[in-house]
Homo-oligomer: A and B are copies of this chain.
Amino acid sequence: MPATIRDVARASGVHISTVSRTFSAPHLVNPETRSRVLACAEHLGYRPNRAARALITGRTHNIGLIVADIANPFFPPLIKAAESAARHRDYHIFVTDTNEDPAVEEELVHALAKQVDGVLLCSPRMSNSLIEQLSREVPLVVINRQVTGLPSVVMDVAQGARLAVEHLTGLGHRHVALLGGPRGSWTSREIRRAATAAARTADAELTVLGPNQPTEHGGTAQAEQVRRIGATAVLAYNDLMAIGLIEGLDSLGVRVPEEVSIVGIDDISLSRLTRPKLTTVANPTGAAGRAAVDMLLQHGDDRRTTAQVTLQTELVIRDSTGPAPTGKPHTVKE
């Protein structure tokens, strides 16, 4: 039903190759012919079939972007930045969501391959070896993870976690809980490593709780546990969990930050809207999205330049952290 290049050629009395050139190399065709072809194309509603074109040229001008959970407000700024960067180079971004499921992740890479020129793999939960294997099928740039041999862009969450723990111990907290992220998360491991080291340095106790769902609910669910172990401060894997935790503690009657201080990670826009406003580690998500697109597109086929970009993070102190309570610790007496 939709018009093909052949219909336009017939209608304008030229060969299909001329029609093709009218669109992809206009300078090669006589201005007069060109305008006639254009008129016919317009009239027939012709649009070049991008799939067929890609079959020849090997370029789809599309980029796939796979995220773990599109409902997590961490991702939209990254997505938007990537889209904007892509648009400037005449590319389009196709976003898909994996529901935090590694199997879906793998399937999506296969589905996207050949329909895109490359895939931005954001916060993957797959194993490194699987990622490497998939990268032979379609160019990959990994975000929020380091995989040897593959281009990647990560935020320096280790530094962020260190700053957060130092902030807390500096406020006098001696027992910090760490709400871990989901299984398979590189970021979660990094945070844990750095937080553990920072706590040791400050001679404070650190208790790891998790793995958890990186959602509001994942935070709420640990409120009881946080109170039980008597931690006076918490570093959460992300803001969503931190916010959930505040809610959970609130319904247990525990006040933040008077009784428990909480630090999130990401600095999603929501963290400025809650009461108390959230102290958090700001991640440059927009820069990450842009950088990933650049890395994918820059070195066309020159895939040897597997740069690893690390972006700086920053501690943003708001209202959810305060001095450690002076009284006896909040252990539950049973």
Assuming the A-B contacts A47-B113, A94-B96, A273-B243, are A70 and B79 also in contact, with contact meaning beta carbons closer than 8 angstroms in the complex? yes
Q: Is A274 interfacial (CB-CB < 8 Å)?
A: yes
Interface string of A151-191 (1 = CB under 8 A from B): 00000000000000000000000000000000000000000
Interface string of A84-99 (1 = CB under 8 A from B): 0001000011111101
- How many residues of A are counted as interface, with CB atoms below 8 angstroms from the partner's CB atoms? 44
CA distance A50 to B114 in the complex (A): 7
Q: Is A39 interfacial (CB-CB < 8 Å)?
A: no
Contacts of A97 in B (CB 8 A): 79-80, 83, 95
Contacts of A136 in B (CB 8 A): 2, 45
Stretch at the interface among A17-25, A28-36, A51-59, A198-206: A51-59
Interface string of A129-145 (1 = CB under 8 A from B): 00000001100000000
CA distance A170 to B144 in the complex (A): 51
Beta-carbon contact of A273 and B216 below 8 Å: yes
Beta-carbon contact of A47 and B92 below 8 Å: no
Contacts of A87 in B (CB 8 A): 104
Contacts of A273 in B (CB 8 A): 216, 243, 247, 270, 273-274
Per the 8 Å Cβ criterion, residues 8-27 of A in contact with B are: none
Q: Is A311 interfacial (CB-CB < 8 Å)?
A: no
Beta-carbon contact of B71 and A137 below 8 Å: no
Per the 8 Å Cβ criterion, residues 61-107 of A in contact with B are: 62, 70-71, 73, 76-77, 79-80, 83, 87, 92-97, 99, 104
Tell me, rounded to whole Å, the shortest Cβ–Cβ distance linking A52 to chain B: 6
Beta-carbon contact of A51 and B114 below 8 Å: yes
Contacts of A93 in B (CB 8 A): 96
Contacts of A252 in B (CB 8 A): none
Tell me, rounded to whole Å, the shortest Cβ–Cβ distance linking A103 to chain B: 11
Tell me, rounded to whole Å, the shortest Cβ–Cβ distance linking A54 to chain B: 6
Q: Is A49 interfacial (CB-CB < 8 Å)?
A: yes
Tell me, rounded to whole Å, the shortest Cβ–Cβ distance linking A104 to chain B: 8
Beta-carbon contact of A70 and B95 below 8 Å: yes
Interface string of A204-219 (1 = CB under 8 A from B): 0000000000001000
Contacts of A55 in B (CB 8 A): 49, 51-52, 55
Contacts of A274 in B (CB 8 A): 273-275
CA distance A52 to B113 in the complex (A): 12
Q: Is A298 interfacial (CB-CB < 8 Å)?
A: no
Nearest residue, chain B, Cβ from A77: B71
Tell me, rounded to whole Å, the shortest Cβ–Cβ distance linking A85 to chain B: 13
Tell me, rounded to whole Å, the shortest Cβ–Cβ distance linking A243 to chain B: 6
Tell me, rounded to whole Å, the shortest Cβ–Cβ distance linking A6 to chain B: 14
A-B contacts, 13 of them at CB < 8 A, read: A45-B137, A47-B110, A47-B113, A51-B54, A70-B70, A70-B79, A71-B73, A71-B76, A71-B80, A79-B97, A94-B94, A94-B96, A275-B275
Q: A79-B97, A95-B97, A274-B275 are in contact. List 6 more A-B contacts (CB 8 A).
A: A60-B115, A83-B96, A83-B97, A93-B96, A94-B96, A270-B273
The 4 closest A-B pairs by CB, nearest first: A71-B76, A94-B94, A95-B95, A275-B275
